[in-house]
Each structure stands twice: as C-alpha cells, then as structure tokens.
Amino acid sequence: MITKAEALRYHAGRRPGKISIAPTKSLATQRDLSLAYTPGVAEPCLEIANDPSLSFKYTSKGNLVAVITNGTAVLGLGNIGPLAAKPVMEGKAVLFKLFADIDVFDIELQSADPDSLIQIVQALEPTFGGINLEDIKAPECFTIEEELRKKLKIPVFHDDQHGTAIITTAAMLNALEVVHKKIQDVRVVFSGAGAAGIACAKMLVSFGLPKGNIVLCDRKGVVYHGRPGGEKYRDEFAQKTKIRSLEEAMKGADVFIGVSSKGLVTSEMLRSMNERPIVFALANPDPEISYPEAILVRKDVVMGTGRSDFPNQVNNVLGFPGIFRGALDVGASTINEEMKMAAAKSLSALAREPVPQEVREAYQGAQLEFGPEYIIPKPLDTRVVSWVAPAVAQAAVESKVARTTVAPYDTYRVALEKRLKERILLSSEEGMEEEVEE
C-alpha cells in the first residue's frame, strides 16, 4: 500500500502534476518557426477554412481528447468540486497517453448546471476529436451525455457509465461460460442505480438478458413499480414485485453486480444465492463483500472486484483507451451501441487467448488461464488496446458513423501493437529520467 506522503510527493515532484505539452515538429531554426507560426501557418488555416475535414490532416484534432468534469462525483470521494478533481483528470490523461498514445487536455468546469455545462462543452467541439465525460453525478450525467451526443459530430463518451458497462459485460460473458449458465436464464441483482449500474443493466439487456430478470437496488432498497420519488432512468428497470430489500433480492439470484458501497453484502446474503453464483463487487477501494470472505463462504463463486490485488479486476482502463483509439482512427462521429458491443466482445475473446510471458511476469508469474480466476484481461496486458481498437473501428465503419477506414484490420492491429509498445517503453525511460533528476 502507498502512503499519503508518497502520493503527495509523486504529484508534487520536480514539476507539479502529471502531464505536459510537447511539440511534435522541429523548432530548431528560423525556418522552422516560420513554418510553425507566421507566415507558414496561414496555409493550413486557409485549407481548413475551405474544407473543415482537413483539420484532421493539418492539426492535432484527430488525436486529441478532452477529459471533462465538474467534480460532482469523483471516484469514491463524492462532490469535491472541479479543482480537487484535477489530479484525477490528469491521471486519466496519463492513461490515455500511456495505453493508447492519445493526447488529452483535462478540463475542469465550475458548473453544476447541466444546461450550462452542455453549452460550454458544445463550444469546445472545434478543438477536439472526442469528449470523455468523467465524474459527473447522476442523474445529470445522463442528460448531459444525451444532449451532447445529439449536438456534436465527434464522439462523446461518459466513461463512468459505458466504460464500466463494457468491462463488466465482457467479464460477465466469460463468467457465464465458466459457470455453464445462459444470459437469458439468469437473475441479476444490482446494488447501485447510478450511472454505472444503469449503464451495466442496459448493456446486459442488449446482450440478451431479459429486463424482467433484473432487480435494481439503491439506497432506498428495490426499485419497484409505484415507488415514491421515481426517476425515469431508474424506473426503466422498475419491477412489479413485493421484494423491497437487497437481502430479499439476493435469495436465489444467479448474479450480483455491486457499484455502490463497501460491506453491503453479508456472508448470509451470499449463501442465499443460487448455485455457482457470479459476484462482481466493484465498489472501490472496498467492495460490497471482500474477495477473501466471498471465496470462504462460497467455493463455487466466480468473483470480480475493482481491486488489482485479487483476480478478475474490472478496470475501466481496459476500455476507454482502445475505444477512443479505434474511434479516432476512423474519424467516428459518435460511439454507438455497435461500437460498445464490439469492445465488450473483443475483451471477452482476448481473455480466452494464451497469455504472453511478459504479461505473466508483470503479475509475478501468475498462471493466467481462462477460468474462474481469469475471465477478463489484465490492465497491464499490452494487447488490450490492439484488440479493442480494431473491433471498435470496424464496428464504426460497418454502422456508417466513420469518416474513413483503417482496413485491413489485421494490419492495423499489428501496427498499433508496435506503436503502443514503443509508447510504453518511452514512458518507462522518461520515468527513469525523472527519478534520476529528483
């Protein structure tokens, strides 16, 4: 475990923060400066004025993503505001760069009003190739994303919703195979009816889970028909049932998905589930029930958490870098359901592939083989983006939201894997230099 002092020292360091901007062209001579700025810069300006699509050729727009928050729902920290959220957004920027070689500007907005935030982000469209919304509380996050997707012609993606849903679905597809159950037959209980919970439920429905097989629970208990204080996003999953508590809902359930708070699931609740239960306790850093307790209570459980120190870590870094890489590389105008489903399927398929020795070594030589303790790829698996991005790109092209193509996709995958390995190696070397200088 890291200490508070270590974390603060890391973020302060030689240069405060975790990101910087670097030029991509030579600036060594007067001629270089004339090309970079005046008078040479006028030429691409005029070309873009005549044909806006050329902005992808002559500027960084096509490889630039905005990570945007208003700080109203930051990790497990809650509504700490946009300024306090900045370290998290810089962290997200680092992950984009490290895993997918995507440049990011993190933008923290002092705006809790959805209409105002929508207007601000809409005005930023000329700068970016994509928008990653982050840590915005529900239910406002749903409205904000919906409206921006209608208004913008670049991808808008709320990672707390769809990133979590994609990784959870990929893990679920494999977990179901491991326990020999079919998605149309299982009963799924959710603890947490915010952005992540509702998005996970929607995606599982798109993969064949009957909506009637879902019991959605929040702080007030089960979301049921006629419950006072209804909210349209939650009410989409309201059931006609006499069950009112999470404890009651867990009895006989095949699957539990927690995106809520630590300790909400007891040993007795886990014992009450159906045979060969699937439990994704994703509250971070402390899950709804701990991994050691769960496997002690149920030897037949297939368990996933958000933690890196236990098997089957459901981590959004498996999703958003590759999703945006694929979307940007074909100039997609949106990230649609077809692209999300393709990402989930690609992650599910990758977990069934033999794991390279370099990945095993990164996890202390663990024997990573498809089964109860390995249903989802590891975050440090360098193949993840090179699997997800081609799948997303192909889905974008086939669903007709792409501006161009990267086919043949196998060639694209090989080139991408080489590029990203070089990026990770460069990052490692830069980190060593930083340590030496400090």
Q: Choose the final residue of a domain: 154, 181, 201.
A: 154
Number of domains in the chain: 3
Token pair of 154 as six digits: 């670049």
Write down the residue that tokens 């074909």 correspond to: 330
* Sheet of 130-133, strands arranged across: 103-108, 64-69, 130-133, 156-158
Is-contact 182 188, C-beta < 8 A? no
Q: Do residue 347 and residue 425 come from a single domain?
A: yes
Distance CA 131, CA 152 (A): 10
Confidence of residue 432 (pLDDT cuts 50, 70, 90): very low
Is-contact 200 165, C-beta < 8 A? yes
Write down the residue that tokens 């208990």 correspond to: 221
Residues 345-374, mean pLDDT to the nearest whole number: 92
Tens digits of residue pLDDT in 92-102: 999 999 999 99
Q: Do residue 139 and residue 8 come from a single domain?
A: yes
Q: Which domain holds residue 99?
A: 4-20+29-154
Q: What is the DSSP letter of 127?
A: G
Distance CA 258, CA 150 (A): 30
* 310 belongs to a structural domain: no
Token pair of 288 as six digits: 């709804």
State the DSSP H helix or E strand holding residue 103, giving kind and residue range, or none if neither: strand 103-108
Distance CA 105, CA 393 (A): 23
Q: Do residue 274 and residue 377 come from a single domain?
A: no
Q: Do residue 72 and residue 91 come from a single domain?
A: yes
Confidence of residue 436 (pLDDT cuts 50, 70, 90): very low
> Whole-model pTM?
0.94
Catalytic hit among 10, 37, 150, 211: 37
- Cβ-based burial of 367 (10 A; exposed 0-12, middle 13-18, buried ≥19): exposed
State the DSSP H helix or E strand holding residue 425, giving kind and residue range, or none if neither: helix 409-437
Tens digits of residue pLDDT in 221-237: 999 999 998 888 999 99
* 135 belongs to a structural domain: yes
Buried b (16+ CB within 10 A) or exposed e, 139-177: bbbbbbbebbbeebebbbbbbbbbbbbbbbbbbbbbbbe
Q: Do residue 242 and residue 296 come from a single domain?
A: yes
Distance CA 134, CA 72 (A): 10
Token pair of 308 as six digits: 């890196």
Q: Choose the final residue of a domain: 104, 130, 154.
A: 154
Percentage of the chain beyond pLDDT 90 is 86
Is-contact 180 276, C-beta < 8 A? yes
Catalytic hit among 4, 57, 58, 92: 92
Look at residue 200 and tell me whether its pLDDT is greater than 80. Answer: yes
Of the candidates 319, 313, 244, the residue with the CA atom closest to the CA atom of residue 281 = 313
Q: Do residue 93 and residue 181 come from a single domain?
A: no
Token pair of 361 as six digits: 């070594």
Percentage of the chain beyond pLDDT 70 is 97
CATH number of the domain residue 38 falls in? 3.40.50.10380
Look at residue 81 and tell me whether its pLDDT is greater than 80. Answer: yes
Assess whether 92 carries a catalytic annotation.
yes
Look at residue 438 and tell me whether its pLDDT is greater than 60. Answer: no
CATH number of the domain residue 377 falls in? 3.40.50.720
Q: What is the pLDDT of residue 425?
A: 76
Look at residue 205 and tell me whether its pLDDT is greater than 60. Answer: yes
- Length reported for the chain: 438
Tens digits of residue pLDDT in 395-424: 999 999 999 999 999 999 999 999 988 887
Q: Do residue 170 and residue 285 come from a single domain?
A: yes
Q: Do residue 196 and residue 69 come from a single domain?
A: no
Q: Are strands 214-218 and 221-222 parallel, antiparallel or unpaired?
A: antiparallel
